[in-house]
Amino acid sequence: MELSCKSEYALLALLELADRYRSGEPLQIRQIAAQQNIPDRYLEQLLAMMRRGGLVRSQRGAKGGYILAREPWKITLFDVVTCLEGLDAQAKEVDVDLQTIEGSVICEIWQESYQAANTVLQKYTLQDLCEKRDARRQLDIMYYI
């Protein structure tokens, strides 16, 4: 479970959407991309995935854009990464039967390790992320003075 560009871009975008969430106004791809320095056509794909995954809602047409599908404290980082990377995760389960004993023993331990990582990601929500960011911003201002 490494931090790919995909996941990072997605989280940055969701962070922007979380900020905007209370207003109820949608936010455009272009704006998010400009704000966070993300290639816009790529971000488009990621947002489409997250829409299919039920994380965001889209509004088409003029004055359209994206809105968080539910409250920022109801979306965990685990939700995000599984939505993005989890689509091809089922494909790996194919040839488990023709594995050696050594292979399956190793595989089990990896599952356990994987599980531990996911538990951490389940602990944090977008809300938490926003708060951490704000706290960090305050801290940076203090240091600057």
Partner DNA sequence: TGAAACCCTAGTGGAAAACCGGAGTATACT
Partner DNA sequence: AGTATACTCCGGTTTTCCACTAGGGTTTCA
> Could you list the residues that contact DNA (CB under 7 A)?
4-6, 9, 26, 28-30, 38-42, 44-45, 47-48, 51, 58-66, 85, 88
Question: What would the DSSP string read from start to end of 104-133?
Answer: HHHHHHHHHHHHHHHHHHHH-BHHHHHHHH
The helix/strand/coil state of 72 is helix
Distance (Å, rounded) from C-alpha 112 to C-alpha 87? 20
Among DNA, its own copies, none, what binds residue 23 when CB lies within 5 to 8 Å by partner kind? none
Contacts with its own copies, residue ranges (CB under 8 A): 1-3, 8, 11-12, 15, 36, 77, 100-110, 112-114, 116-121, 124, 129, 132-133, 136-137, 140
Among DNA, its own copies, none, what binds residue 60 when CB lies within 5 to 8 Å by partner kind? DNA
CB of 35 to its own copies, least distance (A): 10
Provide φ and ψ at 59, rounded to 5°: -125, 120
Among its own copies, DNA, none, what binds residue 50 when CB lies within 5 to 8 Å by partner kind? none
* DSSP annotation of 23: G
